[in-house]
Amino acid sequence: MEGNVIRESWMNVNRYLPTAMLLLVAIFWGTSYGIGKEALLFTTVVVFLVIRFLMTTLVLLPIVIYQRNYRNWTSVLPTGVVLFLIFVCETYGIKNTTASNAAFLISLFVVFTPVIEWVVNKKKPSNQLFLLSFISIAGVFLLTNNNINQLKMNIGDALMLMAALLRGAMVVYTKKIMVDKEVDPILITMVQASVVSVLSIILLFSINGTEFIQLIPVEPSFWFLIMYLVLFCTVFAFYAQNYSVQKMSPTRVSILMGSEPIFGALFAFLWLSESFSMLQMAGATLILIVTFMVTKNKT
């Protein structure tokens, strides 16, 4: 009897763990826009990417070596290239647009993901998930825009839009690899970080040559910001995403991660003393309702 209770409790933990992990990802990514923008005050975008992903690789490499599970690692390499493109677009985008526009545009991946999943897997997500995706985007729009005329497209906005499209493709393709090849989530995260590191280093040398050494910040505040981004917004976040994609559909993953603007707005309100209007509260409420419905939906 006691064994059945323990088994049932463990099954419940396994059932809700991916959802809980993705909500933590949303919290960390919600804060990452402000943290990343502050870190970019110390150095260039490419140096920032090299430091962030090289440190991520060094954190994960000992774990992968200890596990000795390298099966099908080459199948993950294309996702690393996609991730590199996402972060180039996203980081340059954040630098060249407002935090509100960045949060709204990157959240469009919630709508892109079910369409990409439909095209790639030839399996249409449920109408309910499609509807929840659009409601989530409506909530994000209210949350990030007090004035409908504030959203004006510039180069930063275009890059964020491209990052959103690539993010949707990344989730769907990662799911396909994990189903077809059964690759370990930690190995996927390490390989992806390694590819981003290598490509960022190549880009850095092509732009700055050996002079990049002068661009490495020495200020302790920069390294505190980087450590937060590496440990919580990269190592944990991408492992949690890869793990959760293994357990649920890409569309559900995207909707749950699409709640990140709530936490970004809350972070800005509590930490940066920004305003939080009734319109923003209405948007946050819509996203919370969608997130709750997705956690109850097994599709």
Q: What is the pLDDT of residues 251-269, one digit of tens each?
A: 778 777 777 777 777 776 6
Side chain identity, residue 75? S
| Segment holding 118, helix H or strand E | helix 109-121
Q: Do residues 116 and 168 lie in contact, with contact meaning Cβ atoms separated by under 8 Å?
A: yes
- Give the SS3 label for residue 216: coil
Residue 106 CB contacts under 8 Å (≥ 6 apart), including other chains: 90, 93, 160, 163, 164, 167
Q: Which token pair is 95?
A: 């630098």
pLDDT by residue (tens digit) across 112-146? 888 888 888 777 777 777 787 888 778 777 776 65
Would you say 28 and 233 are in contact if contact means Cβ atoms under 8 Å apart?
yes
- Dihedral angle, C-alpha 12, 14, 18, 21, nearest 10 °: 90
Could you give the angle at the alpha carbon of 207 between the alpha carbons of 206 and 212, nearest 5°? Answer: 105
32-91 pLDDT, tens digit each: 877 887 888 898 888 999 999 999 999 999 988 888 778 878 888 998 999 999 988 988
Burial of residue 217 (number of CB atoms within 10 Å: 0-12, 13-18, 19+):
middle
Angle among Cα 240, 144, 278 to the nearest 5 degrees reads: 115
- The Cα-based distances of 298 to 70, 116, 248, 252 in angstroms read 31, 20, 8, 9
CA angle 82, 241, 20 (to 5 degrees): 160
